Amino acid sequence: MDCARYFAIAGLIAVGIPLAALAADSGKIVYGTGNCFIIETAKGNTLFERSGGQSPKAGDTIGGVLHDFGYQQLYDAGGKELMVGFVQEFGVKKTDSIEVFKKSCR
């Protein structure tokens, strides 16, 4: 790793932006009800069930691990932790999202 990159990452950590937020996928909340959200990403839609933290609104941009199953932390556009929960499905086609959402989210 070159020196400039090292100092850039160290500076971001010093101001409180976690590495996970830097290396994460990003997406936009396109639908949400209760604790369940559809997040539109470049690789398809992700279905996310929130178990804690703040509830985002439709149109909010978020980042985090959006293309892997399991418990994940998601961040707002500024890198601050927004919510935690479970990726239920990812890579879902837009036309299938609502139906898969209804089946997989409690």
Residues 87 and 65: beta-carbon distance below 8 Å: yes
Taking the CA of residue 34 as centre, how many other CA atoms within 13 Å lie in the half-sphere pointing to its CB? 9
For the chain, what is the domain count? 1
User: Does a structural domain hold residue 9?
Assistant: no
The answer to whether residue 6 sits within a structural domain is no
Asked if residue 2 is part of any domain, the answer here is no
Tell me, yes or no, whether 3 lies in a domain.
Answer: no
The model's pTM is: 0.74
**pLDDT tens digits for 3-61?**
565 545 555 444 444 444 445 799 999 988 889 999 999 999 999 999 999 999 999 99
What is the span of the domain harbouring residue 85? 18-104
Instruction: Answer yes or no: is 89 within a domain.
Output: yes
